[in-house]
Amino acid sequence: MTTVTETFPVEGCLGGEPAALARLDTELLAATAGLKLGAAARDELLQVARERLVVGGKLKTWSARGPLSAWLRMVVTRLAAELELFTSRDSASLSPELIAGNLELEVMRADGREKLAQTLRAVFASLPSQERAFLRLHDLHGLTLDQLAAMYGESRSSVHRRLMQARARVLSLTRARLGAQMTPADVESLLGMTKSWLDLGLESALG
Assess whether 129 and 61 both reside in one domain: no
A 10 A CB-CB count for 183 gives 19
- Of 49, 72, 94, the last residue of a domain is 94
* Nearest by Cα to 152 from 131, 126, 127: 131
Assess whether 150 and 193 both reside in one domain: yes
- Of 94, 120, 153, the last residue of a domain is 94
Report the pLDDT value the prediction gives residue 97, as an integer from 0 to 100. Answer: 44
Domain membership of residue 56 as a residue range? 10-94
What percentage of the chain exceeds 90 in pLDDT? Answer: 4
125-158 pLDDT per residue, tens: 888 888 888 888 887 778 888 888 888 888 988 8
pTM for the model? 0.46
Find the angle CA(199)-CA(84)-CA(39) to the nearest 5 degrees. Answer: 155
Assess whether 79 and 126 both reside in one domain: no
For the chain, how big is the Rg over CA atoms in Å? Answer: 22
Mean pLDDT for 2-15 is: 69
Three-class SS string for 39-57?
HHHHHHHHHHHHHHHHHCC
Kindly report the CATH number assigned to the domain that includes residue 130: 1.10.10.10
